[in-house]
A and B are shown apart, each in its own frame.
Chain A
Amino acid sequence: MADEKKQQTKNEKIPRQPMPEQAPKVRARNFEEVPTGQSPETAMKEAARCIQCKNPACVTGCPVGVDIPGFIKHVQAGDFTKAISKIWEKNSLPAVCGRVCPQEIQCEGRCIVGKKGDPVAIGNLERFVADYERANKKAPMPEKQEKTGKRVAVVGSGPSGLTVAGDLLLKGHDVAIFEAFHKPGGVLVYGIPEFRLPKDIVFSEVAGLEKMGASIELNAVIGRTLSLDELFEEGYDAIYLGVGAGLPTFLNIPGENLIGVFSANEYLTRSNLMKAYKFPEYDTPIIKGRNVITLGAGNVAMDAARTALRLGAETSRIVYRRSREEVPARGAEVHHAEEEGVEFFYLTSPVKFFGNDKGRLQGMTGLKMELGEPDASGRRRPVPIKGSEFDLACDLAIIAVGAGANPLLTKSTKDLQLNKWGYIVTDEATGKTSKKGVWAGGDIVTGSATVILAMGAGRAAAESIHKYLALGW
């Protein structure tokens, strides 16, 4: 303890190293990544701020339990190869997590250094180490165990599916990943924009799994193209379902079917997966709004509002029915959005959309709210202020108020137990479903959550699948 104190005093002199970023005005008009990455020197300087706690609180905040002081120690010493190997022990997608994890409520939120000042920039360090390795390719691939001859089908190639695949490959099992879209990566590719997570990073992670022996079947809609029982008939010994939530939520207010009103899923899929931002080089079009309203204030809403700016919007506004304190998005995303000029209308609820005689959106009527008593979620419930309706002009509105459980697969699989919202019921510790040989994890179990939580679920399920393949159900 005394040592930690001494170290702390010494390192307090080093300020948290800033992450270089494109200037807000510039980046708000391009799709390049916003943070540009740190130099090895900066990373080492930042790493030196870590006081190497004996009982590291940061690790307890990490859903997959990365040995954070362990990898940071290697960064301090400038041994980035050892650092990546240390991260890989627990996390197969560090380049992704360094960019999209909500560090402020996880590792960095618990960092002891952060008690008195700024926490160690664990996310930035993770990102640096992963990017360094991707550029230099020096670290040995993790050792694969001897082939078991067992075959596992992973349904969905998002963060949880990729994690399961990686873990089971290392344990010597054959893994086939089935993806409904024409590109692998799930939400990392169709949902998160290029400026926050470059797609090359995702594809390089997927390529890594292929190098380790995974096969990837694209355009395979499990539940339609093949059923779960057919996968078993084809000889798979176990199945992991990581299909995501994947059902857009609409507001059920008048005017919602006007041209120019999108679900965030559609808007982002058009832009990210189909590359509509490169239209007409890519064939999929998108409506480039001049005045854009995004409803909701989660990460998806930030992504949509910021995409709209990059597609040329003059105004991009977030309309949220609660207040600034309740915003669920990652701090960095809100900060970036504000810097780029996204305007926030808090305590405002949408009432209706209206349009012209051609069915094109022209505006939205909003209603002002005030905070009342706390609701079931513990957050103060927004209550409408009578007579406070007002109109906001817009030609594009994006609904980003969450997602539900897509029933495509679950409905076609009769013996899979679901909860009342349609999510798959699983054993919390193992991810086992009610159907023998089938596991599930990620958003199709929990509802919309984070990349890292989906990965955590994948990790636990992989462990359980491995045991099952050796010992039985």
Chain B
Amino acid sequence: MFKIVKREEMAGGTVIMNEIEAPLIARKAQPGQFVILKATEEGERIPLTMADTDPDNGTITIIYMVVGKSTALFRDLKVGDVYMDVIGPLGAPTHLEKLGKVICIGGGTGVAVLHPITRGLKEVGNDVTCIIGARNKDLLILEDQMKAASNHLFVCTDDGSYGHHGFVTDILKDKLEKEDIKLVVGIGPVPMMKAVSNITRQYNVKTLVSLNPIMIDGTGMCGGCRVSVGGKTKFACVDGPEFDGHEVDFDELMMRLQAYREEEDHSCKIYGK
């Protein structure tokens, strides 16, 4: 059993932060790694990349958007409630090295995944520019944390209610045009990661994306999370979750993410929340 010690609602209640007691995982976890969580006996195993870890207090932090029944179940857990199962740390950690100027670009709850990676890249001596975005000001998360984790922060909103009026990719293009960028890390919804990768390809700048396909065990046993990278099949759970954005077949990933659309809608309806 894994107790929730802290809980926060973000982005008008559509995004939830849970800090969870998991000392073994907190001790081991590195930026870029994920956990699998299951709330109840009947529950699904849901992979989520950790937004933060606190090895001293033995806790990990996850931030997720409520999108289906399983995340709705997670949302309804209060401080003091428990996740029945938390498994990790899983996946390969981000390779952190000093390269020079680096851009970390995040959209939606991808910003949460980006947080420890941004901090890690700064800690090893990179000059990190962070670009985060959301549809509007209310949906923006972790602005202060990302400011602290990076050297420069740019905020974008689609509707112009805060920061730059437009997409994160606008600022990215500008930076790529003017500066010598060594690495771009882009994490967010699949269409955003695809757009980021398409832009950086034009500038020939290495780009990492973090994928979150449908998964069961997270240990390379089922192959459900397979993605095509450079024409080869890779398992996101053990070969990833980070891959070279220029090599990922995003269209196939988007397609595979729709596999259980009908079932998910049905589950949501029954859960009725």
Binding site for B on A (CB under 8 A): 180-182, 218-221, 224-226, 246-248, 250, 252, 256-257, 259, 262-263, 265-266, 269-270, 274-275, 279-285, 287, 358-359, 406-408
Of B69, B87, B258, B266, most buried by chain A (CB within 10 Å of CB) is B87
Assuming the A-B contacts A182-B38, A246-B219, A257-B228, are A224 and B45 also in contact, with contact meaning beta carbons closer than 8 angstroms in the complex? no
Q: Is there an interface contact between A283 and B260, defined as CB atoms closer than 8 Å?
A: no
Q: Is there an interface contact between B256 and A257, defined as CB atoms closer than 8 Å?
A: yes
Q: Is there an interface contact between A250 and B233, defined as CB atoms closer than 8 Å?
A: yes
Q: How far is the CB of A232 from chain B (nearest CB, A)?
A: 16
Interfacial chain A residues near B45, Cβ < 8 Å: 182, 274, 284
Assuming the A-B contacts A257-B228, A283-B70, are A248 and B90 also in contact, with contact meaning beta carbons closer than 8 angstroms in the complex? no
Q: Is there an interface contact between A270 and B216, defined as CB atoms closer than 8 Å?
A: yes
Q: Is there an interface contact between B87 and A406, defined as CB atoms closer than 8 Å?
A: no
Q: Does B161 contact A (CB under 8 A)?
A: no
Binding site for A on B (CB under 8 A): 24-25, 28, 38, 42-45, 69-70, 73, 84-90, 216-224, 226, 228, 233, 238, 252, 255-256, 258-260, 263-264, 266-267, 270
Given contacts A182-B45, A266-B224, A280-B267, 11 further A-B contacts (CB under 8 A): A182-B87, A225-B24, A225-B87, A265-B222, A270-B216, A279-B263, A280-B263, A283-B44, A284-B216, A285-B267, A358-B258
Q: How far is the CB of B207 from chain A (nearest CB, A)?
A: 22
Interfacial chain A residues near B89, Cβ < 8 Å: 224-225
Partner of A180, one of B44, B217, B256, B258: B217
Q: How far is the CB of A278 from chain B (nearest CB, A)?
A: 8
Secondary structure type dominating chain B contacts? mixed
Partner of A285, one of B84, B86, B226, B264: B264
Partner of B28, one of A218, A225, A407: A225
Interfacial chain B residues near A252, Cβ < 8 Å: 233
**Chain B residue nearest to A267 in the complex (CB):** B222
Q: Is there an interface contact between A266 and B42, defined as CB atoms closer than 8 Å?
A: no
Partner of B88, one of A218, A224, A247: A224
Partner of A248, one of B43, B86, B221, B255: B221
Interfacial chain A residues near B260, Cβ < 8 Å: 285, 287
Q: Is there an interface contact between B223 and A248, defined as CB atoms closer than 8 Å?
A: yes
Interchain Cβ contacts within 8 Å, total number: 112
Partner of A359, one of B28, B38, B87, B256: B256
Interfacial chain B residues near A283, Cβ < 8 Å: 42-44, 69-70, 73, 267
**Bound: A180/B217 CA distance, A:** 9
**Bound: A192/B270 CA distance, A:** 30
Q: Is there an interface contact between B258 and A246, defined as CB atoms closer than 8 Å?
A: no
**Bound: A248/B252 CA distance, A:** 20
**Bound: A67/B69 CA distance, A:** 52
Q: Is there an interface contact between B255 and A359, defined as CB atoms closer than 8 Å?
A: yes
Assuming the A-B contacts A221-B88, A224-B90, A283-B267, are A180 and B219 also in contact, with contact meaning beta carbons closer than 8 angstroms in the complex? yes
Q: Is there an interface contact between A407 and B220, defined as CB atoms closer than 8 Å?
A: yes
Interfacial chain B residues near A275, Cβ < 8 Å: 42
**Bound: A226/B25 CA distance, A:** 9
**Bound: A360/B45 CA distance, A:** 23
Interfacial chain A residues near B86, Cβ < 8 Å: 219
**Bound: A247/B69 CA distance, A:** 30
**Bound: A266/B70 CA distance, A:** 19
Q: Is there an interface contact between B263 and A285, defined as CB atoms closer than 8 Å?
A: yes
Partner of B44, one of A221, A256, A284, A358: A284
Q: How far is the CB of B145 from chain A (nearest CB, A)?
A: 26
Assuming the A-B contacts A180-B219, A266-B216, are A280 and B85 also in contact, with contact meaning beta carbons closer than 8 angstroms in the complex? no
Q: How far is the CB of B58 from chain A (nearest CB, A)?
A: 13
Interfacial chain B residues near A280, Cβ < 8 Å: 263, 266-267, 270
Q: Is there an interface contact between A225 and B69, defined as CB atoms closer than 8 Å?
A: no
Partner of A274, one of B24, B44, B228, B264: B44
Q: How far is the CB of B75 from chain A (nearest CB, A)?
A: 14
**Bound: A246/B235 CA distance, A:** 13
Interfacial chain B residues near A257, Cβ < 8 Å: 226, 228, 233, 252, 256
Q: Is there an interface contact between B84 and A182, defined as CB atoms closer than 8 Å?
A: yes
**Chain A residue nearest to B33 in the complex (CB):** A224
Q: Is there an interface contact between A269 and B216, defined as CB atoms closer than 8 Å?
A: yes
Interfacial chain A residues near B266, Cβ < 8 Å: 280
